[in-house]
Structure 1
Amino acid sequence: MSIILSKGQKIDLSKSNPGLKKAIIGLGWDTKRYDGGFDFDLDASAFMVGENGRVNSDIDFVFYNNLEHPSKSVMHTGDNRTGEGEGDDEQIIIDFEKVPESIEKIAITVTIHEAPERRQNFGQVSNAFARLVDSATEEEVLRYELTEDFSVETALVFCEIYRHNGSWKFSAVGSGFEGGLASLCRTYGLQV
């Protein structure tokens, strides 16, 4: 049975699921219909962050143009440009045993492609969620549904998976940013 988290809640993955070696982070959303004239293209990304709260190099940023970290610890399964249909719209796979020791946290984010030009924001997105699935059993371990109204934000940190005292933990973040992907990149120390 899946655990439902609210914003700000954390769960110790190592204690609650001791056999968890590889996880699928499923991300989903629906876009509200409006007369802006443009389709929505939401993009998931993973920022692999060091102890200083920043990525160590460009290779630690996994997204639609860099689908796999060289360590094979984090993999993006590909860009879904429409978000249509049921279930996960995009997925990021994390192999906990392969995550380099220099990585303390993996921030899972979603941005709206060309949001300013298309006059789009997360206020026009509904039913957004992040879920963690055990890759071995294909069972959903937890789910976090983002229920806030992000009326101006064009980028969101959905969740973070981080190390704490030798354990992997999941944090339901739900934090919004204006400025899209470029803003997130700067926040995590990448040059844009």
Structure 2
Amino acid sequence: MAVNLVKGQKIDLTKGRSSLSSVMVGLGWDPVKKGKSGGGFLSSLLGGGGGGAEVDCDASVLLLDANDKLTAKENLVYFGNKTSKDRSVVHSGDNLTGAGAGDDEVITVDLRAVSPSVHKLVFVVNIYQAKQRKQDFGLIQNAFIRLVDNSSKEELVHYDLTDSYAGKTSLILGELYRSGEEWKFSAVGEGTTDVDISSIANKYA
């Protein structure tokens, strides 16, 4: 049974699960229904509830060293680079709208294959061309991140982001990190105003 986390909570994934070797990280979100706001800021972005461009959210992973640094461009995994340098992290591909139930984008992590130099994996979602399209996460609802044991298909962790992220263009959903011989997960749920994956990556340069 999955553990439902709240913002700031941490959990040890591998303690008591010596066989855990690979996890599927599912990330999901839904567009706010057009016209739901009844006017104001959100309605104006959507053209008064009558249209507006689809919100294209992109999931990415930054593989960081012990100093929280991104030391190789191949350790930024996103739709333009779907496999990490050590081949431990694989991105399933881009979902352009977020429509429909379930995971919108899926990232697989082979824990056994993660390079010893990598100590933390940061999972991020940003809005593609947010500045040009004048979009932010006020247009998105029901964002979540979940981790599933790839072998048993058991959902281990589920974290629903419940804060308001209006005005934010990127979200740091969670972190998968080493703690000695164990792997732990932290529910972060922080919004930023980074407008693309490059500006996010530059924070860890």
Residue equivalent to 2:204: 188
Q: What's the TM-score once normalised by structure 1's chain length?
A: 0.95
- Equivalent residue runs for 1:1-192 within 5 Å: 1-34=1-34, 35-36=46-47, 37-181=52-196, 182-189=198-205
In the alignment, structure 1 segments of 5+ residues that lack a partner are: none
> 1:16 deviation in Å?
4.5
Which one has the largest radius of gyration?
Answer: 2
CA distance in 2: counterparts of 1:106 and 1:84, whole angstroms: 26
Residue identity matched to 1:185: A
> 1:154 deviation in Å?
0.4
Identity %, equivalent residues? 41
CA distance in 2: counterparts of 1:32 and 1:133, whole angstroms: 26
CA distance in 2: counterparts of 1:49 and 1:43, whole angstroms: 19
Paired residues of 1:45 and 1:110 also in contact (CA < 8 A):
yes
> 1:180 deviation in Å?
2.2
Are the structure 2 counterparts of residues 183 and 16 from structure 1 closer, same or farther at C-alpha, using a change threshold of 3 Å? farther
Q: What's the TM-score once normalised by structure 2's chain length?
A: 0.89
**CA deviation map 1:117-169 (0-9, x unaligned):** 11111121100000000001111111000000011110111000000122100
Aligned residues between the structures: 189
Residue identity matched to 1:9: Q
CA distance in 2: counterparts of 1:183 and 1:61, whole angstroms: 12
In the alignment, structure 2 segments of 5+ residues that lack a partner are: 35-45
Residue identity matched to 2:90: M
**CA deviation map 1:15-47 (0-9, x unaligned):** 153321000000000011342411110000000
Residue identity matched to 1:63: Y
